[in-house]
A and B are shown apart, each in its own frame.
Chain A
């Protein structure tokens, strides 16, 4: 037997392209967010509410990732912002290469913020760096307050937690305080927002934070 000893990261190819994406964002002064959640948590609704409120303050571009259909891109396009749909054809997550291709179709000049809406999935997207400045994880109250403990990798890797659908709490067996303490147990550095895209509760707080982060300092 002969043995070749190596130390190679399996996802190094993805990481290399992610580094290139990150450099591109930095060159253009763009804050790139990787928006992750399980399916149906309300990522696209958060994007819509954000565009409604910040459309005049920030230039926001959107990359939509979905397994099938361009429904989400159609929803976002109503807000007259640049949007590219990535259809993964079954792929359970976005990879840096797919985002790189999307970026080549988008005019990045003048953009302040790029929101990359990942495929709905709390597992695989945690592994794939897209070149974003940070991951924003959306968790809806209907999913239950134990989810941060069940998907620790995602919550460790995220910088921001948006707890969505808080208007439904009276009807659910979901304790908001427990949800938050579970999330902060996994990652005490999480910035936490509580929102409802139906009543618009908390959207101002989230948008205020994003405006502060996304406004160019030059």
Chain B
């Protein structure tokens, strides 16, 4: 794994490694080559650049049994809920202000996720044995 210098430049690499580790917990080694798609949910405020994550994941799995696996990254928007009036709203830019009552006291309810949600495997060719 070419980790020696760009490991530092992108924390997406250690996140990609975390994804590979999670796949390993669900897919037995003998089935790794069947993994085609790994769906990942990345919040827009998770501090992760999707293109970098995709690039890093590809670099890690290249030449391994998971070499056929591709990432499918679903970006989730930042949504907040106002503590004062309960309004739920999409946060545009960095405006954490309730559009209803103007309060800045809001909690982020989505947009910081970093999760593996689905692993898709191709079925073995029938009669291949």
Residues on A facing B (Cβ under 8 Å):
1-13, 67, 88-93, 95, 123-124, 126-127, 148-150, 152-153, 156, 184-189
Contact = CB atoms under 8 A, between A and B. Distances in A.
B11 A8 contact: no
A3 B117 CA distance: 10
Given A123-B47, A152-B94, A185-B97, A8 B22 contact: yes
Nearest to B46: A127
A10 B45 contact: no
Contact of A11 (B7, B18, B45, B94): B18
Contacts of B5: 90
Contacts of A149: 93-94
Interface in B28-75: 36, 40, 45-48
Contact of A90 (B8, B21, B96, B112): B8
Q: Which 10 A-B pairs have the closest CB atoms?
A: A90-B8, A124-B11, A10-B18, A4-B119, A188-B104, A149-B94, A152-B94, A10-B114, A8-B116, A127-B47
A150 B22 CA distance: 31
Contacts of B112: 153
B95 interface: yes
A89 B116 CA distance: 28
Given A3-B119, A127-B47, 19 more contacts: A1-B121, A1-B122, A4-B27, A4-B118, A6-B22, A6-B119, A67-B8, A89-B8, A91-B14, A92-B11, A123-B11, A127-B48, A153-B47, A156-B96, A156-B108, A184-B104, A185-B94, A185-B97, A186-B94
Contacts of A3: 118-121
Q: How large is the interface on B (under 10, 10 to 19, 20 to 34, 35 or more residues)?
A: 35 or more
Nearest to B111: A153
B105 interface: yes
A10 B116 contact: yes
A2 to B, nearest CB: 5
Given A1-B123, A123-B47, A185-B104, A10 B94 contact: no
Interface in B73-129: 93-97, 104-105, 108, 112, 114-123
Contacts of A93: 11
A152 B121 contact: no
Contacts of B104: 184-185, 188
Given A6-B22, A90-B8, A124-B11, A1 B114 contact: no
Contacts of B105: 188-189
Nearest to A146: B94
A93 to B, nearest CB: 6
A156 B46 CA distance: 12
B99 to A, nearest CB: 14
A90 B4 CA distance: 8
A150 B123 CA distance: 45
23 contacts: A1-B36, A1-B120, A1-B121, A2-B121, A5-B118, A6-B116, A6-B118, A6-B119, A7-B116, A8-B116, A9-B114, A11-B114, A12-B18, A126-B47, A127-B47, A149-B93, A150-B94, A153-B46, A156-B45, A156-B108, A184-B104, A185-B97, A188-B104
